[in-house]
Amino acid sequence: MKAANLRARVRAEMTEEIKQVARRHLATDGADLSLRAVARDLGMASSAVYRYFASRDELLTALIIDAYDAVGQDAEQAAAAHEDPAEKWVAIGHAVRDWALANPHQWALIYGSPVPGYQAPRDTVVPATRVIFALAETIRLGLADGRIATVPPQPAGRFGEELVAIAEQFGPDVPAHLVGAGLYGFIHLCGAVSAELFGQLNNGIDDDRRGFFEWQMRATAAFAGLS
């Protein structure tokens, strides 16, 4: 059974190697990942790859999960490195942006338009929440420390009830409007990074994009009452 473990380990290594080469292809050749090209780089027949991933989409899904985890981990580490909630908030933003600038095609994979034959399996749901959870935890900390000064406008309407439902997942006494502000901040974070990465800022802000980004992050922090 040691041999069996060996077999499983070799399989795990092979799986990881395929993902690694695929990531490299994604980074260099662009978004249209070719399974055959990956197989060629590994010196194996294209059909052999199907022993490890049932389809190209499944490979992409694996890459998506890894990407969510990678950017989520960076965000969590950045948050842990600061004491003040507002600084945590901004640090999360910079961490996400830095990761996206370093891995633009992986960013496009997770926060860009869904891939052609798009399908978001359940496996991606949990890793996808790490960044927004880091933001939410920052707000919760600020709230616990009495660091939340001003408050965003009260949500009115049915979506307010949905915010309440989300708030209850974070524990008692979390105001719905702060959940709204957290979601607002997350949306703006994704929007700002995507705008920079996808060329929406071209011929506008070309020099000090980091400064402009930080200005935006501080604005969203202030919207959540973190100053």
Partner DNA sequence: GCTTTTGCAAGAGCAGTGCTCTCGTTGTGT
Partner DNA sequence: ACACAACGAGAGCACTGCTCTTGCAAAAGC
List residues near DNA by CB under 7 A.
Answer: 1, 3-4, 6-7, 10-11, 14, 33-37, 43-48, 50-52, 54-57
Q: How far is the CB of 120 from DNA (least distance, A)?
A: 16
In terms of C-beta distances under 8 Å and separation of at least 24 residues, what long-range contacts does 56-60 make, across chains too?
Answer: 57/115, 57/117, 57/119, 59/18, 59/19, 59/22, 59/33, 59/35, 60/33, 60/109, 60/115
| DSSP result, 4-69 | HHHHHHHHHHHHHHHHHHHHHHHHHH-SS--HHHHHHHTTS-HHHHTTT-SSHHHHHHHHHHHHHH
Distance CA 121, CA 128 (A): 11
Instruction: Name the binder of 47 from DNA, its own copies, none, CB < 5-8 A by kind.
Output: DNA
Taking CB under 8 A as the criterion, the residue among 48, 77, 159, 168 binding its own copies is 159
Q: How far is the CB of 72 from DNA (least distance, A)?
A: 27
184 and 91 Cβ atoms separated by less than 8 Å: no
Residues 84-123 that bind its own copies (CB under 8 A): 108-109, 111-118, 120
Distance CA 93, CA 4 (A): 44
CB within 8 Å of 100: residues ≥ 6 apart: 71, 107, 111, 193, 197
Kindly tell me which of 49 and 176 has the beta carbon lying closer to its own copies. Answer: 176
The verdict on 35 binding its own copies (CB under 8 A) reads no
Taking CB under 8 A as the criterion, the residue among 95, 195, 221, 226 binding its own copies is 195
Kindly tell me which of 39 and 148 has the beta carbon lying closer to DNA. Answer: 39
Kindly tell me which of 50 and 198 has the beta carbon lying closer to DNA. Answer: 50
The verdict on 194 binding its own copies (CB under 8 A) reads yes
Kindly tell me which of 20 and 154 has the beta carbon lying closer to its own copies. Answer: 154
Q: Which residues bind its own copies (CB under 8 A)?
A: 30-32, 108-109, 111-118, 120, 125, 128, 152-153, 155-160, 162-163, 166, 180, 183-184, 187-192, 194-195, 198-200, 202-209, 211-212, 215-216, 218-219, 222-223
